Amino acid sequence: MNDLLQHLEFLYGADQAPRLLQQTQHLLDGYRPRLPQRDGGLSERDSLLISYGDQVQHPTETPLQTLKRFCDEHLTGIVNGIHILPFYPWTSDDGFSVVDYRQIDPNLGTWDDVSSMQNFRLMFDGVINHISSKSDWFQKFLLDDHRYKEYFITIEGEPDLSQVVRPRALPLLTSFQTPSGEKKVWTTFSDDQIDLNFKNPEVLLEILDILLLYVERGATFIRLDAIAYLWKEIGTTCIHLSQTHTVIQFLRAALSKVAPHLQLITETNVPHTDNISYFGDGTNEAQLVYNFALPPLTLHTFHTGDARILSNWAKTLTLPSDQTTFFNFLASHDGIGLNPARGILSNTEIDSLVNKVIEHGGLISYKHNADGSQSPYEMNINYFDALTNPNGHDPLELSVSRFLAAQAIMLSILGVPGIYFHSLFGSRGWADGVKQTGRNRTINREKLQFDELQNQLADETSLRFKVFNKFSQLLKVRSSSPAFHPHGTQKILDLHPSVFAVERISSDGNACVLCLHNVSLKSASFSTKDGSDIILEPYEILWLKNI
């Protein structure tokens, strides 16, 4: 328990730490006999579908029941895990403004529906930076309830907050009326998402209790949403603070004592160097971090037909220990973040990405900078549309090949793949949804009807069939070779400017796969290190065993 005590002393001082440690121990002891004991190790068989709980719908079932049925029928043996995006009661941001962390949204189903899906490894969201303004916690704060008085961050006077890093172009503070007067409350993301005050140790213990509940309910992975903004100190940027890292270290240490199989994954949509800082020393923070630079760099690669920037960046992907790895993805419920690419791509190259996305029917979201200006931070577009203009005239087979070549790169590099539902099933952008909600991110969040999707997947001429069939083949090949183990090694090869080439080697050195991907519209001819002559057709994928 010395590690927990040290973390508590750093956060709250030596006077409070012994009492808080005792409370932590009591909490862990209470959960210990109730928690499942599972194999938490990762392997080449691990890949996760990213899906909303109501992504697939049928009128006779709860959405979670429909999602389970669909995944059982189509994804068994294809992926072995599901990241169910926030399934708690919520008021905004499509689930990321949580009303009650301990309940299931009744519009989605029940905890029993979630438990029934444990033939897949499950990832739950820990949306712990903020909570809904309609939550019981905040409503009691607004009534001056003594217990919740310090659960949220209030600001008095007019302190200088100009250094605070802003993820969105919205006010940092929101005013609320209480019996004791008006309170200015910290709201990093929106006026409905109220930041929690982790300077109050009772908040930290409450969150630990919630995460333990998630483990009890079947979580193998817990995603720490927006975690970089967790701790606030006036006069700083309020991002990546040492206290934030210490909170993660505390949670990792506490959870590992009763649930060693649990994997923490940090969601930090920030420049790559900052992002990988959440590995800590390789043993004390996140086991996985989102590889946020991969989506924009891959998109740039296919727009230019040149793999060299992506290859040079991929050469820097090293892990601090065999307990850590990357969570690789190209698309998610959010857009394609630009901040992770800054410092890797030039401003001109980023502007080119933005312009191409606009040309392809996408939208751009902006953030406030410290100097008062705004800059693009996220491109809102379906990844298929980002690669292929929906108003263009590319043949369907060419568009599918380009899309799958990008996905194959994501599958080939070191880490665990995360595949957004709409990517696996070949969706295009949902412009009508944006008109309905007025939110840019809706463009990639369309809900689908079970029967209609079934019919499309049975039609060999449909885009969904073509994408899912080829994507499934790639996932099966990947899961069959220990060379793709998340704790193996990789070597990026410079074979041709238009070819992304990565050699994957198993941790025992007995399995090797050379993965070749043509990122251009032209054929690419080159020789491998053993002297073999290779010709890759446009967007061709070639994975060669034991090279």
Q: Name the residues annotated as catalytic.
A: 225
Q: Residue 438 class from Cβ within 10 Å (0-12 exposed, 13-18 middle, 19+ buried)? A: exposed
What is residue 526's three-state secondary structure?
strand
Distances from the Cα of 231 to the Cα of 186, 204, 271, angstroms: 11, 11, 19
Q: For 39-76, give the DSSP string.
A: -----TT--EEEE-TTSEE-TTS-HHHHHHHHHHHHTT
Q: Could you give the CA distance from residue 95 to residue 115 in angstroms, rounded to a whole number? A: 20
Task: Quickly tell me which residue has 């840019």 as its tokens.
Answer: 440
What is residue 199's three-state secondary structure?
coil
In single-letter form, the type of residue at position 480 comes to: S
Q: Could you give the CA distance from residue 62 to residue 77 in angstroms, rounded to a whole number? A: 24
Cα-Cα end-to-end distance for the chain? 48
**What DSSP state is assigned to residue 292?**
T
Distances from the Cα of 43 to the Cα of 47, 176, 252, 411, 489, angstroms: 9, 49, 21, 13, 13
What is residue 506's three-state secondary structure?
coil
In single-letter form, the type of residue at position 493 comes to: L
Task: Tell me if 417 sits within 8 A of 354, measured CB to CB.
Answer: no
Task: Tell me if 86 sits within 8 A of 132, measured CB to CB.
Answer: no
Q: Could you give the CA distance from residue 520 to residue 538 in angstroms, rounded to a whole number? A: 6
| Long-range Cβ pairs for the range 156-159 (8 Å, 24+) | 156/184, 159/234, 159/235
